[in-house]
A = this chain, B = another copy of it.
Amino acid sequence: MRKLSRSWLIKKTQINPMQNFKLVIEYDGTRFFGWQRQADKPTIQAALESVLSIILNQEIRIHGSGRTDAGVHARGQVAHFHADTRLTPEAIKKGVNSMMRHPVVVMACDTVPQDFHAQYWVKSKEYRYYILNRREPSAIGSDYVWHVNRPLDMDAMNKCAEHLVGAHDFKAFENTGSPRSSTVRQVFEATWQKDGENILVFRISASGFLKNMVRNIVGTLKDAGAGKLSEQQFCQVLSSCDRTLAGATAPARGLFLHQVIY
């Protein structure tokens, strides 16, 4: 009994190493004011930090792969945080998922090298955008689609989308308010596919994205699908680097951060 007590004491008093944890997170962004912490407003970052701080009994600050706007969802957002703990990643994941009172779920938790950074180490990100294309509005899942009642020509949208692939200056699709040193990004994939009878899904993966880039691209491609913009005109918009020539910003609700690759 003595021996047991003593070894327990030693374990308790030894200094635990600071560990780096990587989270993969799913969330429904509908009722949040976006990813990033803000004073007095519910955000995904704040929801996670407050639960993690309780579980780990220390103040936790998490760093996401990037922000998502109010109403935008994620199936595979990634964040990292440092903590001094003996809890296993699995215990942290279970703890968050059982304590969380918001639609935020930890899909995976792993220890990663000390210098892993969820934002700076990103190799590529994939977003998906969902359009419900039918005359009747949406009753089911309306928080997750953009309803477009005018019939869209998916082939025309795909022909335009092909021109996005490669390294381009995407300034025409960047909203103001987030100045970057460079507006050149490398797009690896940009395709529309049908899902069922009347859902159109846009998949776009790139080295990185500018502010509102996916939603501005989708708003412009929708104009192409509706016959308001030719393929040639779409190329002109892209090469103009002029935001005023591109289409309107598509609503947040149809957008999902699908995965982040490191």
Contacts and interface: CB of A to CB of B under 8 A. Distances in A.
Interface of A: 26-28, 73, 75, 93, 97, 103-107, 136-142, 144
B105 A28 contact: no
Contact of A137 (B97, B136, B141, B144): B97
B139 A27 contact: yes
| Number of identical protomers | 2
Contacts of A28: 139-142
Contact of A140 (B75, B136, B138): B75
A243 B62 CA distance: 50
A99 to B, nearest CB: 12
A140 B97 contact: no
4 A-B pairs with least C-beta separation: A105-B139, A103-B139, A26-B139, A28-B140
A253 to B, nearest CB: 12
Nearest to A27: B139
Contacts of A141: 28, 141, 144
B103 A140 contact: yes
Contacts of A137: 97, 105
Given A141-B141, A141-B144, A105 B136 contact: yes
Contacts of A27: 139-140
Contacts of A136: 26, 93, 97, 105-107
A230 to B, nearest CB: 31
Given A28-B140, A28-B141, A93-B136, 7 more contacts: A27-B140, A28-B139, A28-B142, A73-B140, A97-B136, A104-B139, A105-B139
A46 B225 CA distance: 38
A141 B27 CA distance: 10
A123 to B, nearest CB: 23
26 contacts: A26-B136, A26-B139, A26-B140, A27-B139, A27-B140, A28-B139, A28-B140, A28-B141, A28-B142, A73-B140, A75-B140, A93-B136, A97-B136, A97-B137, A103-B139, A103-B140, A103-B142, A104-B139, A105-B137, A105-B138, A105-B139, A106-B136, A107-B136, A140-B144, A141-B141, A141-B144
